[in-house]
Structures are given as structure tokens and as C-alpha cells.
Amino acid sequence: MSIRWLFLDLNSFFASVEQYFQPELRHKPIAVVPMLADNTSVIAASYPAKAKGVKAGTPVRDARRMCPGIILVEGNHERYVDIHHKILEIVGSVLPISAVMSIDEVACELMGSERTLEKATALVAEIKAKMKAEFGDSILASVGLATNRLLAKVASDMVKPDGLTIIEEKDLPQKLMSLKLRDFPGIGAQMEKRLLKAGIYNTQILLNASRNELRQVWGGIVGEHFYEWLRGRDTDPGTTRQRSISHSHVLPPELRNKEDCFRALQKLLHKAAFRLRKDGMWCRRMDLYISMMEQAPEGGRSSAPFASVHPQHRNNLTLENSVRLIECQDDFSLMEALKLMFNHLQRPEIWVEGIKPLKVAVWLNDLVPDAEHNLSLFDNDKGLKVSQSLDAINAKFGRGSIYFANMGQSGALAPTRIAFQSTPEFDSD
């Protein structure tokens, strides 16, 4: 079985980009954060910081304790998108790109003579040489070569930074035995729980599980594909339907109030609605989340959310609401639903002095594509046409060229943040 896939994973991408633009930060422990505040979490860390245990998701307070002298850098979405597209140009000049998995991951399917080990490794060397010529040693990538895309992704994670790992058929299953269950793409926290419930406690048991056992755990054909992938075979699971679109935002301290909280939610919803129409999807459910925190007097912050709040408040750390919708994709229908949901969360025992909104999120769920959209007697034709017209104008003249009147003061509330799992685009608003 020949090498069929090349998977490129940019190493500590956000931190590396910052070090590329700011040479004085190179070889130092830095953490990229959404804002320069101690009550947020790390988005990405440089390798000197990782060596001290700092990683994505580490609270900033903990990062300072774990790595004294760590340098905080506020994330810059535009920089990351710019470098992302330059990386795509480099890879595309060597190989056709099959899939952009995220802002820092690219997969290429190899063809013909490219599938020989000699040619595949030469292609990796060419990509890395072009990256070095463009970025020096600031931005590096680890590459995995394997017989299918899942194993190529696994291989790209094995040696960092600047690694090259090859998984051939003859290497299986031995080369996978040292991995943890969560090292495999597709096994997150919830899937791990399902595996544990099925008696699959480690990778050795996973590799010995039958096709039917994995089908039962995954609840369908994906489990069978996983069985094949672990054995090096390259099967196609087909197109996975997009199930949700979401946007979230951490409010800066000066905007942690009810009015700005709602305006931030409005902007997040407009962004999500734009993506919904762009992807040709219709929404049947919306979820709203507001994370609350206790703010100490004199403008300081308590060390833990709700640390000294009356016990009846402590279960309200996150406000949630969900509503079913007639299939829609226009801003007007979605905004009306948002208003109703937000009003439903106006409990007086929550919106009290000292309890502030910290993070807001909007999720559009239960999506259906255009081809499966059910026509309704209540379709908002005019609203959809207005929304589509706004999309067209903003596409031609730049995002933010035209917007709804109630969005006039919301420009700074929820700026475009760093894109992780989607192909990023520039957003000027």
C-alpha cells in the first residue's frame, strides 16, 4: 500500500506568526491571547512556553504562574489570515491542495509517482524549503505522510516542531501503540466517553476492536471507516453535512453590561447569518449562551466566577436559551428570535450589581441545505431578499460597507477573531 496523503500542520501557528512579525519575541515564551486581561485564556503558546506546561486553553493567571516572565500578545486575525494564504500559495505551487482543514492544517492527496516514498519525501522537502525561503525559521511545519488522511494527520502530530513522520502499511499497528485515544482525529471528549463505556480503554484495545464494535460505538458507518483507516486503508466517508454555525466573543471589561452584551450578540448573529446564506444552509434551531462572572468592587475581578455570590446564584454561571425555528436564513427572522430569547433571560436575580456578562455565543443548529429546504407559507421573502442584497453589496465594497441601523454602534463589540476550524477570510468590520 503506497503513500497516498500528505498532511501539513503549522507549528504553534499563531505564536510563530507573532514571532515572525516581531523578531524580538523569537525564542521567548509567549502566549497569544484574545485580549490583554488576566481573566481570559491562552489561544496559543510558543514552544518555550509549552515546555513549561502552557497550552491552548490555559487560563492566563495559571500561565503566569507556570511560566514566570511569559509575554502576552493580543491575537491579530488579519496577520494569521494573510500568512495562511501565503502558506496555501507555497503548498499549492508544489502540490494541488485537496482540503484546507483549518487555518493551520492542509491535506494533499498524492497521485501517480508522488505516492512513492522517494517522491513524497522530496515534495515535503520542497515545501519546507519554500517556507524557509519565505519565513526563515520563524514559521515551521510538521508533515505526516501516510496511506490515508487520518493516519497522515496522526503522523503530523508525532514530531514537533519541523518534523516529518511516515506511516506505511508495514508500520501498522506498531507505530500507533504509543498513542492515547485522544491522539486520533475524531476522538474528542464525548467520543472517548463512548469508547470507555464500550470497554475500549486504550489504543491497543481500539486497534483490536472489530468492525461491528466500532460501528456500534460511532453509531453508524463512520465507525466502519475508522476501522479501515486504522489498518491503513483509504476509504471515503462521503461528504459530512454541516450541522451548525457559531460565533462567540469575550467582552472587554468596559462593555460588560446588559446593553453591550445584547449588541454583541446582534453582531455575532449577523455574522452567523451571513455564513448561513453563503453556505446555502437553512437554520431550524438557535442557541444562545451568556457566561456571567462576579466582578469585585473597585473595578477589580474576583479570582473565581461567583466566588462570593449567594448560593442561589451559583448555578447560573452560564445563561442558556434555545428556540426552534421555521427554516430560515434571513437576518430579520433570526434577529426576532434573538430578541425573544434575550428577553427571556432577563431574570432580576442575575442582572444585579457586581454580576457581569463575560462571554457571549450564538449557535445556529439543525441546518439543512438548500436542496432539502422545505418551503413554508410563512417564508420571509422580503427579509431574505434584503439580507441577500446586503451580502452582495458588502461582498463588492467590503464588509461593513452597509449594515442595519441597529448595528451602527456595534462595530467594536465583536471584531473578527482568530479562525480555528474554518477556512478564514478577511473581515474589515
Query: Mean of the pLDDT values across residues 150-165?
Result: 96
**Domain range 172-240, CATH architecture:** Orthogonal Bundle (1.10)
What is the third-level CATH fold of 244-407?
Dna Ligase; domain 1 (3.30.1490)
For 17-72, the pLDDT digits (tens) are 999 999 999 999 999 999 888 888 999 999 999 999 999 889 999 999 999 999 99
Q: Give the C-alpha separation, 89 to 210, whole Å.
A: 42
pLDDT, position 262:
92
- Who's near 14: CB < 8 A, 6+ residues apart? 32, 43, 44, 75, 80, 418
pLDDT bucket at 418, cuts 50 / 70 / 90: very low
DSSP string, 391-427: HHHHHHH-TTSS--GGGTT-TTTS-----SSS-----
pLDDT, position 383:
54
pLDDT, position 304:
38
| Fold agreement between 1-170 and 244-407 | no
Residue, of 132 and 422, whose pLDDT is higher: 132
Kindly tell me if the per-residue pLDDT of 250 is higher than 60: yes
Q: What value does the mean pLDDT of the chain take?
A: 83
CB atoms within 10 A of CB 221: 12
Q: Give the C-alpha separation, 396 to 255, whole Å.
A: 31
Kindly tell me if the per-residue pLDDT of 184 is higher than 70: yes
Peptide bond between residue 311 and the one before it cis (omega within 30 degrees of 0): no
Kindly tell me if the per-residue pLDDT of 2 is higher than 90: no
Which residues face 99 on adjacent strands? 107
pLDDT, position 375:
57
Strand, helix or coil for residue 47: helix
pLDDT bucket at 330, cuts 50 / 70 / 90: confident
pLDDT, position 159:
95
pLDDT, position 298:
46
Query: Mean of the pLDDT values across residues 203-217?
Result: 95
Longest dimension (CA), the chain: 69
First-residue to last-residue Cα distance in the chain:
49
pLDDT, position 365:
86
Kindly tell me if the per-residue pLDDT of 108 is higher than 50: yes
For 276-302, the pLDDT digits (tens) are 888 888 888 899 989 888 765 444 444
The residues spanned by each domain of the chain are: 1-170, 172-240, 244-407
Are 389 and 236 in contact, with CB atoms under 8 Å apart? Answer: no
What is the third-level CATH fold of 1-170?
Alpha-Beta Plaits (3.30.70)
